[in-house]
Homo-oligomer: A and B are copies of this chain.
Amino acid sequence: MTSPAQPLRHRVEEWVEQIHDQLVGALERLDGSGTFERDRWQRPGGGGGVTAILSDGALFEQAGVNRSAVWGEFGDAALARLGGTDREFYATGVSLVLHPRSPMVPTIHANFRYFERGSDAWFGGGSDLTPYYPYESDARHFHSTWKRACDAHDTLYYPRFKKWCDEYFFLPHRGEMRGVGGIFFDELRGDLEATFAFVRDCGAAFMPSYEPIARRRRDERHGEQERAFQLYRRGRYVEFNLLYDRGTSFGLATNGRTESILMSLPPLARWQYGWAPAPDSREEAALRFFQPRDWAR
């Protein structure tokens, strides 16, 4: 995998398969009860992937980890969205969304991908945390982990990718952040070998960024009020993914595999007209908590 003699796309693809397996294994151990079902699929235009889903686990109400390597020619819909004239593309990546059962454990998303289009090539990715209840130490741990992973490669990465994440995971129609952010980057070119090394380190940072949070929150007490707030906030997750997420809208508009794309949606979500938190409640504190802040300080 590490021999630079092989074309980059093959080495990235191999890494994607490895990190997918590692994440599935690590998340299954973290859950402690559920098991992932692996669903292997082919893409008619070229390539395919594996969607691994764990449902009704001890920790995870639903956990999905996708990997894919697809290639072919962009159709007119994709070209209209992307601009440019190059139709030939290759893309490989891994993406995951974890919906814990307990409202005290944050939902999390991560995604790392490599793209080639004509003679152009780049990496994209990131990870963002969506807590329901506000624990400062969780947000600090999460951001510090990603800052360390970034700083090892370029000290400009974290401030830039953290800001990008805050801007990206924002719901303008609500005037709300999706959660406490993390890092987000796209079209990262430069020295592709060095960028690939950075992306591999990001993959390795995922479990350390999340596992300690999940372990210390999974047994926190909660009741119906916390569950109702979690389901309500999951509604925002649905709104973001269907209204704004670029990967989702691009995937659906270009005949991507719907079930794999929409595994990001929560197993259960609710909406309630005009809901507002009670004054001085933990829910009110939570909504104040989801603001861009310097968490890694």
Contacts and interface: CB of A to CB of B under 8 A. Distances in A.
Interface in A234-257: 235, 238-239, 242-243, 249, 252
A274 B53 contact: yes
Nearest to A241: B242
Contacts of A174: 258
A3 interface: no
A154 interface: no
Contact of A271 (B173, B243, B267, B274): B267
A270 interface: yes
A265 B172 CA distance: 18
Contacts of A273: 39, 51, 53, 55, 62, 64, 259, 263
Nearest to A251: B173
Contacts of A249: 243
B259 A267 contact: no
A269 interface: yes
Secondary structure type dominating chain A contacts: mixed
B51 A265 contact: no
Contact of A39 (B235, B239, B267, B274): B274
Contact of A270 (B51, B243, B258, B267): B267
Interface string A45-86: 000000101010000001010000000000000000000000
Nearest to A270: B268
Chain multiplicity (copies): 2
A52 to B, nearest CB: 10
A173 B252 contact: yes
29 contacts: A39-B273, A39-B274, A53-B273, A53-B274, A55-B273, A64-B273, A173-B252, A173-B258, A173-B261, A174-B258, A231-B268, A235-B265, A238-B238, A238-B242, A238-B269, A242-B242, A242-B243, A243-B249, A243-B252, A259-B273, A262-B271, A263-B273, A265-B271, A266-B271, A267-B271, A268-B268, A268-B269, A268-B270, A269-B270
Nearest to A260: B273
Contacts of A239: 242, 262
Contacts of A6: none
A76 to B, nearest CB: 14
A11 B285 CA distance: 47
Nearest to A174: B258
A272 interface: yes
A55 B267 CA distance: 23
A148 B258 CA distance: 39
Interface string A199-226: 0000000000000000000000000000
